[in-house]
Structure 1
Amino acid sequence: MPRIDAELQTPGRRLRSEGKKTAILDAAESLFVSDGYERTTVDAVAARAHVSKRTLYNHFSDKEILFLRALSRVNEALLSTIRAAIDEELTTGRDLREALTAFAHRIVDRAFGSSDYLTFRRLVAQHQSVPRLPDAIRDRPLGMLEQRFAELAADGTIRAPRPRLAARHFTALTISLAQEALSDYEKQKDAAPPDLEAIIADGVDAFLRAYR
């Protein structure tokens, strides 16, 4: 077995290593967003992070892995926001309309308005050559909502024999429509802000007519 260098195992050394890793990811995320995947080089990331190219390669084997790790980090932050919204808004015993409305607003207001979401959207919206997260990771938000809807169906709160389809319908009727309205608003000059409250309210009404 290879000898383990005791110096590498000290808390101080590990802390410095993690600090460099974070600096590399911060630099990579910034450059991927500003310059794009194709134009961003490993040399540029190392220079922005104030580390050697060798140090960068000690943590990340190539640019594709670096991009995916940066994307995964942003995705994890978004997933935390979604998980908290599910746990704190879609609670047992709460009025269903109120719970669904609060959940949708929380995702739209906090997730879409966060720097994590803006970074995520800019990263995934790049050229087709940009590496993609595995489907299992990209489907996790829908999977979390599906699980909660399955619980609501089990206790009779909603009628959803196919909880995943119910989750897709709810997302399409509320969060996706709000996202589209925000995206259209960003592209238009002098346009009035979208009425997100009305979009979500109408979507929740449509969902409840189908599933309650």
Structure 2
Amino acid sequence: MTSVPAKPSQSKPASPGRPKDLGKRAAILEAAKRMFTAHGFERVSMDQIAAEAGVSKLTVYSHFGDKESLFSAAISAKCEEQLAGGLFQVDASSSLRDQLLGIGRAFLSLINSEEALAIHRVVTTQPPPAKLGQLFWDAGPRRVQGVFEAFLRAEMEAGALDIPDVHRAASQFFCLLKGEMHMLLLCGCRDAIDDAEAEAHVQATVDTFLRAYQAAPARKR
């Protein structure tokens, strides 16, 4: 009986292929942010983004797969520019209030920026089939709230905070930061918020948050 040759093993890992060009990726993201904020989502094509970035359409698809993925990546990149991961790392050399002030200032600067306001308007004016709202939420607010929740839990473990519902507390913090001024900017009732007003708002928000959740000092025996 003639033996049948064994088939080649299917477990061999695939070749990783050529590494992605990080410079081109950054150029695509910058082009995407400019075009999505200026023209909306539906009116921008991958061809246009490729031309704006100075790369081929194939390169855009190689990095991001489709327009929805590119939109999500652009939102994430904008958040990372102003809310870098290190901002949410517990710093034993700094007070909890100072750390919250740093997070609050960065977040307020992000959401009140012209670029972020324009993206928000794009999301809220698109037809439902685009699912932009969910893409925006997952890539931006949900991600930011998640890393902030991790920061709060670390501070709870250190005994600095006493929070019964971390998810709710994180949401409250960011909603307080948005406040009236963010809505005024979105509605076009204000052109800008001056630095002194923004700083006073951040400090009041942080103090309100700490009054609600700062752990009581241990009673001396």
Quickly name the TM-score band, shorter chain normalised.
0.5 to 0.7
Whichever residue aligns with residue 125 of structure 1, its letter is R
**Partner of residue 36, structure 2:** 32
* Distance in 2 of aligned mates of 1:33 and 1:50: 19
Pairing 1:125–2:125 present? no
Pairing 1:75–2:79 present? yes
CA contact (8 A) 1:146 1:163 kept: yes
CA contact (8 A) 1:72 1:133 kept: no
Secondary structure, counterpart of 1:51 in structure 2:
coil
Specify which of 149, 157, 162 is matched with residue 160 of structure 2.
157
Which aligned pairs between 1:173-212 and structure 2 lie closer than 5 A? Answer: 173=176, 175-177=177-179, 180-184=180-184, 187-188=188-189, 193=194, 195-212=197-214
TM superposition shift of 1:169:
2.6
**Partner of residue 166, structure 1:** 169
Equivalent pairs counted in the alignment come to 194
TM superposition shift of 1:33:
1.6
Secondary structure, counterpart of 1:195 in structure 2:
helix
* Distance in 1 of aligned mates of 2:108 and 2:143: 17
The percentage of aligned residue pairs carrying the same residue is 30
Q: Alignment RMSD, CA only?
A: 3.7
CA contact (8 A) 2:68 2:135 kept: no
TM superposition shift of 1:183:
4.9
TM superposition shift of 1:188:
3.2
CA contact (8 A) 1:153 1:161 kept: no
The 1:38/1:200 distance shift into structure 2, 3 A limit, reads: same
The C-alpha deviation readout for 1:41-94, integer Å capped at 9, x for no partner, is 2332233233344444444443333333333332333441xx33333xx53364
The 1:44/1:93 distance shift into structure 2, 3 A limit, reads: closer
* Distance in 2 of aligned mates of 1:119 and 1:191: 13
TM-score by length of structure 2 reads 0.66
TM-score by length of structure 1 reads 0.68
Structure 1: state its 5+ residue gaps. Answer: none
Which aligned pairs between 1:26-65 and structure 2 lie closer than 5 A? Answer: 26-65=30-69
The 1:85/1:37 distance shift into structure 2, 3 A limit, reads: same
CA contact (8 A) 1:46 1:52 kept: yes
The 1:99/1:36 distance shift into structure 2, 3 A limit, reads: closer
The 1:199/1:148 distance shift into structure 2, 3 A limit, reads: same
Whichever residue aligns with residue 67 of structure 1, its letter is F
* Distance in 2 of aligned mates of 1:139 and 1:93: 28
TM superposition shift of 1:157:
1.7
The 1:42/1:99 distance shift into structure 2, 3 A limit, reads: closer
Q: Which has the larger radius of gyration?
A: 2
CA contact (8 A) 1:28 1:66 kept: yes
* Distance in 2 of aligned mates of 1:37 and 1:93: 44
* Distance in 2 of aligned mates of 1:107 and 1:84: 14
